[in-house]
Structure 1
Amino acid sequence: MTDTLNVDEQAKAGGWKRRAIRFTLLGLSVGALAAGAAVLPLREIGDAVVGLGPGAVVAVAVLGSLLLSALVPRTLITMTCGALLGATSGMAAALAAAVIAAIATYYAGRWAGRGALQARAGSRLARLDGWLNRRGLAAVLLVRFLPLAPFGLVGYAYGTTSVCRKRYLLGTTIAAIPSTVTYAVIGAAVVAPGEMSMITLVPAIFSFILSTAIILRWRHTARRDAALAPATA
């Protein structure tokens, strides 16, 4: 029995050691991306990318996804897409950048810390992981709609949870659409003010209403579960 316990303890220690090494490597990679974003002549790069013609949307989407993975604010990137490419193409590039970054950060987080939350059985992190998994798509929408943390950081964090990747990607894409439309149009309007109108605000209003509805439903469900807990026990 003692030998078995020692083996289990060694396995757990080895698992946390591997996670620590991977988290360190991930942190260094994100730091390198952020440092590159800070020193690179992004204005000149943006002008060069726009000159690519039809391939500009793809190039901007890839560059934008790298910046999102480096924790650059998504609002800034989306507005820049609109300013560089115009409203319609800017929307497409910004949404593609968000989806690519969501996939990349999720799998990077999963590689670095998969199972880290579940391993802390009985802890607050384990309960948080269980809540996120139970709420599924609604939890992803709630977290993505609310400006709780940088877009890329949320992706890394979700990778460490047990949330299904399909729900994560679907929720992230749905939540990204309203703000993408709004900020891409605003970015385009900075270059061409005539494109700005009240219609620009419609996606943002929709996003606010939907996020509020999700929060209210979550609070109602949480209260109902809390009321039923004593009876179930």
Structure 2
Amino acid sequence: MSQSAPAVATDLEAHAPISRKRRFARLGLLAAAITGLAVAAATLPLRDIGDAVVALGPGAAVAVAVLGGLLLSVLVPRTAVTVACGALLGAATGMVAALAAAVIAAIATYYAGRWAGRGALQAKAGGRLARLDGWLNRRGLAAVLLVRFLPLAPFGLVGYAYGTTSVCRKRYLLGTTIAAIPSTVTYAVIGAAVASPGKMSPVTMAPAVIGFLLSTAIVLRWRQTSRRAAAAAVVPAAA
């Protein structure tokens, strides 16, 4: 009995909201780290680094995925990273590396945001942020898909923001991965076409077209469903 009590207490402490002072300190450290890495990414010779990474041979895809995940985490646009993956590795391998980079960044930013801002939305009980947190939880996977499909903010920034919510990490990671697939296919193929235009054909561009149509259809379907749900909610209220 004496051994289980400390374990329970430790678990409660791990999930307890952190104080405002500590939260601000952690947010400051996270912002400083992101800024420092972003400055490094802007000043480093990325072209030379890319050439050196490609020279690694079979390990190039892994290195590109890790480097891409780091760049996404410091708020480099995912479009640029994905196009670069396609240009460096070709369409097929570039797609895999770019998707892996997105997953790596999604995990890193989510847990960094949770470490720095855990409990931030819950602390605003009764306010708009608390209602937002509740809406994200009720919508679950659909909310993650919507936020990821719409170009609301840089990929990494959305990950940091989700870390401050109480959204389940499994739904977040699954939704992020699914939403990343169409654009990953599109921009990786475009990057490969830019690097080797003579090797591309209309058939090679088919995945890019399919990815674009799929993402557009999902967003339009979501908007239609949201309007129907809003209309259904208004009818009982009026009655």
Same fold, TM exceeding 0.5? yes
Q: 1:92 to 1:69 in 2, by over 3 A?
A: same
In structure 2, which of residues 209, 214, 228 is the aligned counterpart of residue 220 of structure 1? 228
* Match status 1:73 vs 2:77: yes
* Match status 1:130 vs 2:138: no
Number of residue pairs matched by the alignment = 220
Q: 1:53 to 1:118 in 2, by over 3 A?
A: same
Letter in 1 for 2:168: C
Q: Distance in 1 between matches of 2:71 and 2:234?
A: 41
Q: Distance in 1 between matches of 2:141 and 2:40?
A: 34
RMSD: 1.7
- Report the CA distance between 1:219 and its aligned residue: 2.8
CA contact (8 A) 1:142 1:215 kept: no
Q: Counting helix residues as a fraction of each chain, which structure ranks higher?
A: 1
Q: Distance in 2 between matches of 1:71 and 1:96?
A: 16
Q: Distance in 1 between matches of 2:182 and 2:170?
A: 20
Aligned to 2:209: 201
Q: Distance in 2 between matches of 1:109 and 1:70?
A: 13
Q: Distance in 1 between matches of 2:83 and 2:201?
A: 13
Q: Distance in 2 between matches of 1:44 and 1:150?
A: 25
Aligned to 2:9: none
Q: Say which is worse superposed, 206-215 or 140-149, in terms of deviation.
A: 206-215
Q: Percent identity?
A: 71
- Report the CA distance between 1:128 and its aligned residue: 0.6
* Match status 1:82 vs 2:86: yes
Gaps of 5+ in 1: 1-13
- Report the CA distance between 1:211 and its aligned residue: 1.4
Q: What's the CA shift string for 1:205-226, capped at 9, x where partnerless?
A: 1111111111221232233234
Map 1:120-159 to 2 at 5 A: 120-159=124-163
Aligned to 1:186: 190
Question: TM-score, with normalisation over the residues of structure 1?
Answer: 0.90
- Equivalent position SS for 2:126: coil
Map 1:90-129 to 2 at 5 A: 90-129=94-133
